[in-house]
Amino acid sequence: MTMPRDSAPSRRVRANGDGTVYQRKDGRWEAVGYVLAPGNTRKRVRVYGTTRKDALAKLTEKIAASNRGLPVPSAQGSLAAYLTYWLEAVAVHQLHETTHTLYTT
């Protein structure tokens, strides 16, 4: 008969969308999560750190930028494509109308 573990350390379960953090075989810490990519898609990003806290901080920063509407840069896209996306999707909500018109021209 198995006995329940009373002294097992409780582990905090990360919420859905928070990503995951683990230690690699080479000793570095890796944090993985999903962020906004161009075209309203999600992209899985990986960040690395020397400590667990460092890797988690980097991932949290990327997810926070994604939540503000800034997509992760894409290697396939050009600067012109990104700026067009930014003007139509991000800047229109954050800038005054006259500033947005000026940037568009």
Q: Across residues 33-54, what is the average pLDDT?
A: 88
* CA-based nearest residue to 35, from 11, 2, 68: 68
Confidence check: pLDDT of 6 > 70? no
pLDDT band at 23 (very low <50, low <70, confident <90, very high): very high
| Residue 40 pLDDT class (50, 70, 90 cuts) | confident
76 vs 53, residue with greater confidence: 53
Note the pTM of the prediction, 2 decimals: 0.58
Rounded mean pLDDT, 5-34: 78
Residue that the structure tokens 């920063």 belong to: 61
